[in-house]
Chains A and B, each alone.
Chain A
Amino acid sequence: MCQVEEDYQPKLQRPEEHSVSRKCVKCKEELAAVLIRAGDPYCRSCFRDYFTHKFRAMLGKTRLIFPGEKVLLAISGGPSSSAMLSQVQQGLSQSAQKKLRFLPAIVHIDEGGALGLSLVERQRLVSELQVIFRASGFNFYTIPLEQVLDLPSSVVNVAPPSFDQAPDSYKAAVDVDLQGAGRDPQQGGGVPEPRLDESQTRSLQQLLGSAATLTARAELLSTLRQHLLVHTARTRGYSKLLLGESCSRLAVRLLTCVSLGRGAHLAQDTGFSDCRFGDVTLVRPMREFSAKEIAVYNHMFGVPTVIIPTLDTKMPEKASIQRLSQSFVSRLQQDFPSTVSTIYRTSEKLQTAGGGCSAQDGRCLLCVCSVDTAAGKASALQARLISEQLCCQEPAGTVQVGPTPPAGQCCSATDGECGRPAGGAGCCSSHFRAPEKKELQKLLCYSCQLILRDMSSVAHLPQYIVAEAERRKRRSLMKDEISEFLLEEEGSS
């Protein structure tokens, strides 16, 4: 029974089983070299087999990547993505039966501009990476993050998938591939990178600098990176994007997402496949590998990595929510080794409600997940909005005064979508008007609204986001105008 002075300490101590020589649990012959999953010692060769098998099984079990499909590997140079690259290389060169059957290429986003690295430093890091990429024999693209400022606004829209991805067709596709003749080997080589423009780097730094907190800055950076990756995949005909996030990283990501208000999108942010963009599916094949397994594998089998500093390198623990979550999880993992796998198993059970990958309307402008702010009157979100309004003491229904449009037909400069006479209410002459924060907020999901709130000014947002925001605003105004003429959806009358 519980007593006042009962000592619970002994139960929490880790079992002290440090014997100097332990045999591998798999082959029972060799001396163990690494402890996996807090208690299973594996020898070197069994560990390599375990690692390789897990990677192939992950891809094979989910049957997501079809034979002959063009797949883009997003390699940052860090341990997880380098391990992924090494596994893909090995998998493609195996004997026919268990061979990986897709066509990979590599993309690397050079974020040095956002971090304030000098041009010389950036070039050095990129050329180190290019040596690794060239050795793999795949095509590779190294793209500076500054390119994100030139993206078209179609990148934040969902596009329909390009070919049939039904599960039954997977088996048929494999059979066809097995019978077919060997595919031509890829040329393997780099696409020459575009030249870096100083002013673009400055704009990028201004954009990131306008986010007041490190949390918002990190989220914004990862959103921009995602847009650039998806755009690269789309324009070059890749239907899958492989990301190298490990189990530990995804566990931290899960907690971070909940803290950031992205709970509704957890399934897409941490799941194996993420189809929010429609035609490009984000896949996370390293999902089941813990950071320790990856680090040991890289060290033992000489996988080359290039460590590039990120926004929160050497930052103190409380600098951002991401950092804090990471430190929380890794500390907990020390004493309770099943922490990461428990969080991971929880994330496996999450699914998007209501076929989230198909809805076209109501997508967030930044993260392209569904906008989840349509909560009812009695919700916590509504209460927060009301208290915010009271704090700001703005009279309701303030009229926005925009610049007077030029005389004549409105929208002559744009694609003529508006079609209203000049000067009409709600006219869209705003091609040159800076976006208002309030208008943008309506187009964003809850967590992206929080990012926007942390930004001191939205004047630095890239053109494609501003243009898309305008377009959506025009469409919703148009929809309101013609709503009474629209036919009702089936089943509602």
Chain B
Amino acid sequence: MAAPVSVHLEFGGGAELLFDGVKEHHVTLPSQPEPWGMRQLLVWIQRNLLKERPELFVQGDSVRPGILVLINDADWELMGELDYQLQDQDNVVFISTLHGG
């Protein structure tokens, strides 16, 4: 059983428009048998936080192309992308790069 994990989520670049304009979310993921990875986090976000237009945030297993994910201020591609295992007090930022200007 994995202990509950508390993570700090941030949405920027226009992605916050899908979350009622709220940019920062401090969430505690409930404990569950499998450890929390990015895959499960995305499913959890889609179910609990995403207010509208899921297809603009999630595509299949991963985020929609154009959404940049930073885990603890580092590119998630350097951390293993979807295979990264979340740790307590991690900071995950989702920035939409499509709404540029």
A-side residues, CB < 8 A to B, are 18, 20, 22, 31-35, 41, 44, 76-82, 244, 246, 248-249, 291-292, 294-296, 299-300, 305, 307-310, 313-314, 326-327, 330-331, 333-334
State whether A307 and B68 are in contact (beta carbons under 8 Å apart), knowing that A18-B81, A292-B97 are contacts in the complex.
no
State whether A80 and B100 are in contact (beta carbons under 8 Å apart), knowing that A34-B75, A299-B95, A314-B56 are contacts in the complex.
yes
9 pairs, CB–CB < 8 Å, chain A vs chain B: A33-B78, A34-B75, A41-B75, A78-B100, A248-B97, A291-B66, A296-B95, A299-B73, A334-B65
Q: How many residues of B contact A (CB 8 A)?
A: 29
Instruction: Indicate if the CB atoms of B75 and A33 lie closer than 8 Å.
Output: yes
Give the top 5 A-B pairs by smallest Cβ distance, nearest first.
A78-B101, A291-B97, A76-B101, A334-B65, A330-B66
CB closest residue in chain B, given A75? B101
Instruction: Indicate if the CB atoms of A35 and B77 lie closer than 8 Å.
Output: yes
Instruction: Indicate if the CB atoms of A33 and B98 lie closer than 8 Å.
Output: no
Residues of A within 8 Å of B97, CB to CB, are 79, 248, 291-292, 294-295
Segment of B1-9, B11-19, B25-33, B42-50 in the binding face = B11-19
B67 to chain A, nearest CB (A): 9
Instruction: Give Cα A369 to B17, complex, Å.
Output: 36
Besides A33-B78, A291-B66, 4 other CB < 8 A contacts?
A: A34-B74, A35-B77, A307-B17, A331-B65
Instruction: Indicate if the CB atoms of B99 and A78 lie closer than 8 Å.
Output: yes
Residues of A within 8 Å of B100, CB to CB, are 78-80, 246, 248-249, 291, 294
State whether A22 and B78 are in contact (beta carbons under 8 Å apart), knowing that A291-B97, A294-B97 are contacts in the complex.
yes
State whether A314 and B101 are in contact (beta carbons under 8 Å apart), knowing that A299-B12, A299-B95 are contacts in the complex.
no
- 0 or 1 for each of B44-75: is its CB under 8 Å from A? (1 = yes): 00000000110010000000011010100111
B49 to chain A, nearest CB (A): 17
Instruction: Give Cα A192 to B66, complex, Å.
Output: 38
Instruction: Indicate if the CB atoms of B13 and A295 lie closer than 8 Å.
Output: yes
State whether A314 and B17 are in contact (beta carbons under 8 Å apart), knowing that A292-B97, A331-B65 are contacts in the complex.
yes
Instruction: Indicate if the CB atoms of B17 and A18 lie closer than 8 Å.
Output: no
Residues of B within 8 Å of A296, CB to CB, are 68, 70, 75, 95
Instruction: Give Cα A82 to B95, complex, Å.
Output: 15
Instruction: Indicate if the CB atoms of B95 and A295 lie closer than 8 Å.
Output: yes
Instruction: Indicate if the CB atoms of A309 and B17 lie closer than 8 Å.
Output: yes
State whether A307 and B75 are in contact (beta carbons under 8 Å apart), knowing that A18-B80, A20-B80 are contacts in the complex.
no
Instruction: Give Cα A441 to B76, complex, Å.
Output: 51
Residues of B within 8 Å of A244, CB to CB, are 101
Instruction: Give Cα A291 to B68, complex, Å.
Output: 10
Does B92 touch A at the CB level, under 8 Å?
no
- 0 or 1 for each of B80-95: is its CB under 8 Å from A? (1 = yes): 1101000000000101
Does B79 touch A at the CB level, under 8 Å?
yes
Residues of A within 8 Å of B77, CB to CB, are 18, 35
A82 to chain B, nearest CB (A): 8
Instruction: Indicate if the CB atoms of B14 and A307 lie closer than 8 Å.
Output: yes
Residues of A within 8 Å of B13, CB to CB, are 79, 295, 305, 307
Residues of A within 8 Å of B83, CB to CB, are 18
Instruction: Give Cα A249 to B101, complex, Å.
Output: 8
Instruction: Indicate if the CB atoms of A299 and B99 lie closer than 8 Å.
Output: no
Instruction: Give Cα A22 to B100, complex, Å.
Output: 29
Partner of A307, one of B53, B73, B99: B99
Residues of B within 8 Å of A299, CB to CB, are 12, 70, 73, 93, 95
State whether A33 and B17 are in contact (beta carbons under 8 Å apart), knowing that A77-B101, A78-B100, A295-B68 are contacts in the complex.
no
Instruction: Give Cα A294 to B66, complex, Å.
Output: 13
Instruction: Indicate if the CB atoms of A35 and B68 lie closer than 8 Å.
Output: no
Instruction: Indicate if the CB atoms of A32 and B17 lie closer than 8 Å.
Output: no
State whether A291 and B98 are in contact (beta carbons under 8 Å apart), knowing that A34-B75, A300-B73, A314-B53 are contacts in the complex.
yes
Instruction: Give Cα A80 to B14, complex, Å.
Output: 13
Instruction: Indicate if the CB atoms of B101 and A41 lie closer than 8 Å.
Output: no
CB closest residue in chain A, given B10? A299
State whether A313 and B17 are in contact (beta carbons under 8 Å apart), knowing that A18-B83, A20-B80, A295-B95 are contacts in the complex.
yes
Instruction: Indicate if the CB atoms of B17 and A35 lie closer than 8 Å.
Output: no
CB closest residue in chain B, given A18? B80
A167 to chain B, nearest CB (A): 31
State whether A81 and B101 are in contact (beta carbons under 8 Å apart), knowing that A295-B13, A333-B65 are contacts in the complex.
yes
A44 to chain B, nearest CB (A): 8
Residues of A within 8 Å of B99, CB to CB, are 78-79, 307, 310, 313
Instruction: Indicate if the CB atoms of B81 and A79 lie closer than 8 Å.
Output: no
Residues of A within 8 Å of B81, CB to CB, are 18
A19 to chain B, nearest CB (A): 8
A331 to chain B, nearest CB (A): 5
State whether A313 and B14 are in contact (beta carbons under 8 Å apart), knowing that A291-B98, A295-B95, A299-B95 are contacts in the complex.
yes
Residues of A within 8 Å of B66, CB to CB, are 291, 330
Residues of A within 8 Å of B65, CB to CB, are 327, 330-331, 333-334
B96 to chain A, nearest CB (A): 8
A37 to chain B, nearest CB (A): 12
CB closest residue in chain A, given B72? A33
